[in-house]
């Protein structure tokens, strides 16, 4: 029983480890591409509310460095949230409902923050 | 800065980020306490934008370090996630409050925060009696207790978590400060986890770092959404901080702790005075 618990915990730890690393890696790549493109001629966006994600994706497709940068920042901010989702599903799969509910609560708070930031 | 991104400007921002990242790694503190003053006093960035830049840097460094601690098994994910309910709520309140405060008010609050940080850095992390390490069955550890391997001592350290409500209270305050001032909040969380909740110091630091990413992300959405983030500047600083943290982790093994720590405690004290002066004089 103890070894099974340890094994399940280790599986979750590995999943979280790779989620954090992958999110960070993707955001770094996007930001580096964006900075290189911006140096090459695209004008970076000054501070101000960000454009909608659909607009960012269109701009990135057209090679706008500023949009690659914004996408990188969005992935960076979302990475801890992705970690919460992975843990929530992991605990739910293990039928650790109490901690799955805790993860859902944290995710709700992060979502509220997102709506407060972009909707306000 | 953003309107005229140059190679020189980019390298300068990378360097600023790298310095703070390596300082944070060497001194065992978050880079935010160094990054915000550098951005405000050194680069003339408005306080709200400096806080926003710092909070995104905190997300990056926390994610990097937490991925390592989680893999090593020292971060208590169940305890961390439970406390994240409080830190996230606190961070949202802090982020919302920051939007209502003037830059001078934020600078004054930051100066106040730097004083205990400088004192703690001067004193260093004192060894204290480790919380009841015993290898027991999982039932004896409770729902939030955990075990981790201590290779240096060749043993397994097991602990129960005590005073969860106290930990939740301090976590809320730490999240509040994090969202308000752009720091990770570990300076509050680690002592709370260790002294209040009975978590061994190594697991307390790892769990605190695990929590910091979500805490920072909670307020980062607010800052980014309301336009306080300067994207090119922030991304350059974030990349620099990540590089610096990696370098600092290597340097950490080679640099003697006490003298450097006291030196930077004095530096932080001087920075606190300067920011307080700015807050008062405008």
How far B144 CA lies from chain A's nearest CA (Å)? 10
Instruction: Tell me which of A58-72, B54-68, B263-277 is least confident.
Output: B263-277
Tally DSSP H helices, then E strands, for chain A: 4, 0
- Residue pairs between chains A and B whose CB atoms are closer than 8 Å: 184
Q: Across the interface, do A109 and B234 touch by the CB < 8 Å criterion?
A: no
How far A37 CA lies from chain B's nearest CA (Å)? 11
Tens of pLDDT, residue by residue over B122-181, are 776 654 444 444 444 455 788 898 888 877 777 888 889 989 999 999 999 999 988 888
List of residues 6+ apart from B141 with CB closer than 8 A: B147, B158, B159, B160
Mean pLDDT of A28-51: 83
pLDDT of residue B206: 87
How far A9 CA lies from chain B's nearest CA (Å)? 9
Kindly state the tokens that stand for A5: 């618990």
What is residue A42's DSSP assignment?
P
Among B232, B233, B238, B240, most A C-beta atoms within 10 A, so best to mutate, is B232
Partner residue opposite B70 with nearest CB, options A5, A13, A43: A13
Q: Which residues of A touch B82 (CB under 8 A)?
A: 99, 102
> Quick one: which of A88, A74, A41, A30 has its CA closest to B239?
A30
pLDDT of residue A105: 97
A 88-117 residues with CB below 8 A of B?
Answer: 98-99, 102-103, 105-106, 109-110, 112-114, 116-117
> Quick one: which of A85, A81, A113, A110 has its CA closest to A100?
A85
List of residues 6+ apart from B84 with CB closer than 8 A: A84, A106, B171, B211, B214, B215
Instruction: Tell me which of B116-125, B135-144, B238-247 is least confident.
Output: B135-144
pLDDT of residue B52: 93
B100: number of Cβ within 10 Å: 7
Please state, rounded to an integer, the average pLDDT across all residues of chain B.
83
Distances (CA, A) of B269 to B33, B87, B242: 11, 27, 25
Compute and round to an integer the Cα radius of gyration of chain B: 19
Contact A44/B at CB under 8 A: yes
Among B231, B237, B240, B242, most A C-beta atoms within 10 A, so best to mutate, is B231
Kindly state the tokens that stand for B70: 């989680």
The helix/strand/coil state of B182 is coil
pLDDT at B14 over 80: yes
Contact A71/B at CB under 8 A: no
Tens of pLDDT, residue by residue over B64-74, are 889 988 888 88
pLDDT of residue A2: 52
Higher pLDDT, B106 or B151: B106
Q: Which residues of A touch B221 (CB under 8 A)?
A: 77, 110, 113-114, 116-118
Mean pLDDT of B83-109: 90
Q: Are A65 and A36 in contact (CB under 8 A)?
A: yes
Higher pLDDT, B164 or B250: B164
List of residues 6+ apart from B90 with CB closer than 8 A: B171, B172, B173, B174, B175, B176, B177, B178, B179, B215
Q: Which residues of A touch B231 (CB under 8 A)?
A: 34, 44-45, 50, 66, 69-70, 73
Partner residue opposite A105 with nearest CB, options B63, B85, B220: B85
Q: Across the interface, do B232 and A77 touch by the CB < 8 Å criterion?
A: no
């Amino acid at each position: 029983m103890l070894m099974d618990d340890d094994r399940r915990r280790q599986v979750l730890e590995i999943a979280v480890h790779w989620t954090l690393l992958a999110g960070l890696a993707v955001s770094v790549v996007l930001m580096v591409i964006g900075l290189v493109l911006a140096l090459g001629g695209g004008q970076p966006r000054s501070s101000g509310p960000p454009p909608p994600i659909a607009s960012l994706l269109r701009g990135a497709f057209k090679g706008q460095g500023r949009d690659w940068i914004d996408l990188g920042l969005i992935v960076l901010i979302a990475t801890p949230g992705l970690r919460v989702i992975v843990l929530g599903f992991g605990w739910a799969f293990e039928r650790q409902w109490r901690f799955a509910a805790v993860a859902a609560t944290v995710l709700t708070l992060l979502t509220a923050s997102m709506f407060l930031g972009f909707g306000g | 800065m953003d309107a005229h991104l140059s190679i020189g400007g980019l390298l300068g921002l990378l360097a600023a980020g790298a310095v703070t990242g390596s300082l944070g790694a060497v001194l065992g503190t978050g880079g935010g306490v160094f990054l915000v003053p550098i951005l405000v006093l050194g680069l003339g960035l408005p306080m709200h934008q400096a806080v926003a830049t710092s909070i995104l840097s905190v997300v990056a460094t926390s994610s990097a370090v937490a991925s390592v601690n989680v893999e090593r098994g020292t971060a208590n994910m169940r305890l961390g996630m439970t406390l994240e309910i409080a830190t996230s709520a606190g961070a949202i309140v802090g982020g919302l409050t920051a939007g209502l405060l003037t830059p001078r008010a934020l600078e004054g609050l930051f100066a106040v925060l730097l004083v205990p940080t400088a004192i703690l850095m001067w004193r260093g992390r004192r060894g204290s009696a480790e919380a009841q390490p015993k290898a027991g069955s999982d039932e004896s550890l409770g729902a939030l207790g955990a075990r981790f391997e201590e290779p240096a001592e060749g043993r397994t350290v097991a602990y129960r978590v005590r005073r969860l409500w106290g930990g939740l209270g301090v976590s809320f305050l730490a999240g509040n400060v994090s969202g308000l001032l752009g720091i990770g909040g570990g300076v509050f969380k680690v002592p709370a986890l260790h002294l209040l909740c009975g978590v061994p110091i190594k697991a307390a630091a790892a769990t605190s770092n695990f929590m910091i990413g979500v805490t920072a992300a909670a307020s980062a959405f607010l800052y980014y959404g309301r336009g306080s983030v300067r994207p090119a500047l922030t991304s350059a600083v974030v990349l620099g901080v990540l590089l610096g943290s990696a370098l600092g982790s290597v340097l950490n093994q080679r640099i003697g702790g006490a003298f450097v720590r006291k030196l930077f405690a004095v530096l932080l004290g001087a920075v606190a005075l300067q920011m307080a002066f700015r807050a008062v004089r405008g």
